[in-house]
């Protein structure tokens, strides 16, 4: 009964889903899955199983699942850069790394202002090749998802790595910045705040920041949408600017003007999603112990 997998709040959502095609479980067996990324050239998805310290890989052609890397320094979020390379957030490595074409691993950023990063959580690549990432404290808060350690930065912030390797802090007014994404024209940067895990009065929101004309920083942010169940963690924007976000009861879909259009209901907490498949019209969903997917009538950027 796929219809029961959806909550249609606004008519527009009915046009963004296939009511006869509900989400399916592709794999189960993780502890906390996160950081999905689709690699078009290889037609596979990789994702993190953070507490088990491994990256998994699902093959689109035959459905096979294998360990991609273990141990993996408790990786979390991933992105594919404009050359098709994997960009990784490493909790235990406390860095952003890149997997090169020759198989070697290069650390792109592991400190700011002479002090170690906290534990990079999620990452995106802009069309100019710059890499933007969030640095909350989850990977140093305990030994469960990294190595417990004192936080040396003065807070949890958002950073940008330019093509020359320079790192700048772009947002410093959040509690626990987590998932992030640009609008299709890259004029807006959306960032989720999961600060409620540490600050009870911190609302579970996605904030929006205008990207400056030079594309290198952002202006003052404001609240964009509030989560009606659990937290917004990782999320993605489709080619029409709709925001598809993880939440406590599934995937929430918002219009570009911030209206909740509907939900894909999932019976586990969703941590992150990505678009994939040759047409980029398949959502891959990390939900607690599982990797799932659902075809939607929208395309990722």
User: In what order do the strands lie in the sheet containing 243-247?
Assistant: 6-8, 260-265, 250-254, 243-247, 235-237
**Nearest distance from C-beta of residue 35 to Mg ion, angstroms:** 7
First to last CA, the chain: 30
Site for Mg ion in 128-167 (CB under 5 A): none
Name the helix (H) or strand (E) containing 39: strand 33-39
Residue by residue, DSSP assigns 243-257 as EEEEETTEEEEE-TT
CB closer to Mg ion out of 17 and 72: 72
Comparing CB distances to Mg ion, the nearer of 7 and 151 is 151
Query: Contact letters (x/-) for Mg ion, 160-189, by CB under 5 A?
Result: ------------------x-----------
Least Å from the CB of residue 272 to Mg ion: 6
Measured from the CB of residue 101, what is the shortest distance to Mg ion in angstroms?
27
How far apart (Å, rounded) are the C-alpha atoms in residues 270 and 136?
18
Contacts of 173 (CB under 8 A, 6+ apart): 221
C-alpha–C-alpha distance, residues 183 and 301, integer Å: 9
Single out the residue of 193, 233, 238, 249 in contact with Mg ion (rule: CB under 5 A).
233
Task: Select from 121-129, 245-253, 258-266, 283-291 the region that touches Mg ion (CB under 5 A).
Answer: 121-129
Pick the piece of the chain touching Mg ion (CB under 5 A) from 229-237, 245-253, 259-267, 277-285.
Answer: 229-237
Q: Least Å distance between CB 70 and Mg ion?
A: 20
Distance from C-alpha of 293 to C-alpha of 282, rounded to nearest angstrom = 7
- Given 121, 176, 242, 245, the residue binding Mg ion (CB under 5 A): 121
* Rounded Cα gap, residues 31 and 50, in angstroms: 7
Asked if 242 is part of the footprint of Mg ion (rule: CB under 5 A), the reply reads no
CB closer to Mg ion, 178 vs 242: 178
Q: How many residues does the chain have?
A: 301
Q: Is residue 122 part of the contact set for Mg ion (CB under 5 A)? A: yes
List contacts with Mg ion (CB under 5 A): 121-122, 178, 233-234
């Amino acid at each position: 009964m796929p219809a029961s997998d959806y909550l249609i709040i606004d008519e527009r959502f009915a046009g963004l889903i296939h009511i006869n095609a509900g989400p399916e479980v592709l794999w189960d067996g993780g502890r906390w899955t996160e950081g999905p990324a689709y690699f078009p050239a290889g037609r596979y998805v990789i994702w993190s199983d953070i507490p088990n310290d491994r990256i998994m890989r699902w093959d689109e052609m035959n459905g096979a699942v294998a360990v991609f890397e273990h141990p993996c320094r408790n990786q979390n979020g991933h992105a594919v850069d404009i050359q098709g390379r994997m960009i990784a957030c490493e909790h235990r490595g406390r860095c952003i790394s890149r997997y090169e074409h020759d198989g070697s691993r290069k650390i792109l950023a592991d400190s700011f202002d002479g002090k170690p990063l906290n534990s990079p959580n999620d990452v995106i690549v802009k069309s100019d090749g710059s890499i933007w990432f969030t640095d909350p404290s989850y990977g140093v808060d305990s030994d469960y998802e990294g190595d417990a350690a004192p936080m040396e930065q003065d807070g949890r912030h958002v950073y940008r790595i330019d093509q020359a390797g320079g790192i700048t802090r772009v947002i410093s007014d959040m509690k626990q910045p987590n998932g992030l994404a640009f609008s299709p024209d890259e004029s807006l940067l959306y960032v989720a705040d999961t600060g409620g895990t540490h600050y009870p009065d911190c609302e579970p929101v996605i904030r929006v920041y205008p990207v400056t004309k030079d594309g290198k920083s952002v202006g003052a942010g404001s609240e964009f949408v509030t989560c009606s169940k659990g937290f917004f963690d990782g999320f993605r924007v489709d080619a029409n600017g709709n925001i598809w976000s993880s939440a406590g009861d599934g995937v929430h879909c918002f219009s570009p003007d911030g209206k909740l259009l509907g939900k894909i209901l999932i019976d586990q907490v969703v941590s992150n999603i990505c678009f994939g498949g040759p047409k980029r019209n398949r959502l891959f969903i990390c939900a607690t112990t599982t990797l799932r997917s659902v075809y939607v009538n929208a395309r990722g950027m």
